Amino acid sequence: MMRKPECDYDVVIAGGGAGGVGAALGAAKAGARVLLVEKYGFLGGAATNAQVLAYCGFFQQGSKPIKVVGGAADLVLDELRKLGLDCEPFSSPTTLNWIILLEPEAVKLALDRVLADNGVEVLLHTRIAAATRTADKIQSVTLAGMDGRTRVSAKSFVDATGDANLSLVAGVPCRVGDLEGKLQAISAPVRIGGRNQNVPIDREAIKAAFKFYTGLWPSARDDGGIYTEVPNTGEMWWMMFDHQLSDLSSGSFSQAERAAREAAHGYVGLLRAHVPGFERAYVVQTGPQIGIRESRHPAARYELTHEDLATGRQREDGVAKAAWPMEDHTTPGQPIYTSVGGDGWASIPLDSLRAKGLDNLYFAGRTIGADPRAYASIRVMGTAFATGDAAGQAAAVN
């Protein structure tokens, strides 16, 4: 008779955003039995649940795109290319950084495929709801899904939930926001259809249109916002609504979600009424949820610092590279960029991906250890794939 394995999985990963997908691929490539658990019915994290349609952090800042992220992320880019996205570095005219433009349905399908091809088991519509632990290890997690509650055990776990939801239920101390508890602004990008492609987008006309706004949620941006084309669709992507969240309660999020939807429809109504080319424009999609830049930071063994990034510190224990500038959104709608110094990238050490006091919990994506200013760089999705890849590999050999 075959012996039942001591654990159900080698690695359980909470969250299917860039960090979680990177971790799942990293762990699977290292030979682990991997389960990835995602609360929505699709993967992609902020790219697909909040319309964040550009991968940042793949390239250094500068006149030429120098790539700093590969490994698991390249498997994802290859899959996206098969679905018709060119994945070429695009220099954002508004921020002068190199990004990769996305189309959300391609992201969902590419991630389904790449995880299946690499043998990762995925449970969608399932949330990590609780954890059991000893003094220094997580033993099991409770999954809440369509079939009720089940418990799975694993040798190691990765918290890639963005909001540190696994760490929270495992009793890891968490800082909320910056050192004073202030959170980076939330924002609600929207996709717009029906625009006349033959009429160039007129930023001055967009700015002027906002003089007519009479709704409850005036935009914090006075520059017409950030917009791009969504590849292969004819749609426009537009970020114009930003909001300061005072806390992480469901009540505050509910109010913000309602405000963001009102704003999206109100703002697109302004475009229709006042901006040439938008006469037949409509909201293709908001959400499914508002874009959360910052929430909880679980205690890590090392917090990457602003100085590490400002000086481009390179370390022997580095497992990933941070190259995106520190993009501070403390004031809604008014981002401030501070470049990474040195050679244009800084090392992220393994200790930033390890929980303080728990030997088998790793962090990936925006849960990794970073001080408030360094966090404003490492949270982007390119870097999240890289920290995920490293966390998954480390978890697999723990």
Ligand X SMILES: Cc1cc2nc3c(=O)[nH]c(=O)nc-3n(C[C@H](O)[C@H](O)[C@H](O)COP(=O)(O)OP(=O)(O)OC[C@H]3O[C@@H](n4cnc5c(N)ncnc54)[C@H](O)[C@@H]3O)c2cc1C
By beta-carbon proximity to ligand X, the closer residue of 49 and 219 is: 49
Measured from the CB of residue 198, what is the shortest distance to ligand X in angstroms? 27
Measured from the CB of residue 81, what is the shortest distance to ligand X in angstroms? 18
CB 68 within 8 A of CB 383: no
Measured from the CB of residue 274, what is the shortest distance to ligand X in angstroms? 25
* Helix axes 18-29 and 104-117, enclosed angle (nearest 10): 20
Q: What is the C-alpha separation between 248 and 175, in angstroms, rounded?
A: 12
By beta-carbon proximity to ligand X, the closer residue of 384 and 386 is: 384
By beta-carbon proximity to ligand X, the closer residue of 18 and 154 is: 18
By beta-carbon proximity to ligand X, the closer residue of 27 and 292 is: 292
Instruction: Give CA torsion, residues 127, 164, 162, 141, to 10 deg.
Output: -30
Measured from the CB of residue 2, what is the shortest distance to ligand X in angstroms? 30
By beta-carbon proximity to ligand X, the closer residue of 189 and 269 is: 189
Measured from the CB of residue 216, what is the shortest distance to ligand X in angstroms? 20
By beta-carbon proximity to ligand X, the closer residue of 162 and 269 is: 162
Instruction: Give the SS3 label for residue 258.
Output: helix
Measured from the CB of residue 50, what is the shortest distance to ligand X in angstroms? 6
Q: CA-based angle 300:302:307, to the nearest 5?
A: 130
DSSP lists the bridge partners of residue 100 as 55
By beta-carbon proximity to ligand X, the closer residue of 105 and 202 is: 105
Contacts of 397 (CB under 8 A, 6+ apart): 30
For 33, 275, 276, the CA distances from 199, given in Å and listed in that order, are 52, 10, 7
Contacts of 378 (CB under 8 A, 6+ apart): 304, 322, 324, 348, 366, 368, 370, 384, 387
CB 391 within 8 A of CB 364: yes
By beta-carbon proximity to ligand X, the closer residue of 277 and 350 is: 350
Contact residues toward ligand X (CB under 6 A) are 14-20, 37-40, 45-46, 49-50, 52, 54-57, 127-128, 160-163, 165, 187, 189, 291-293, 365-366, 379-382, 384
Instruction: Give CA torsion, residues 157, 160, 162, 165, to 10 deg.
Output: -30
Measured from the CB of residue 232, what is the shortest distance to ligand X in angstroms? 18
CB 300 within 8 A of CB 315: no
> Six-digit token pair at 344?
């244009």
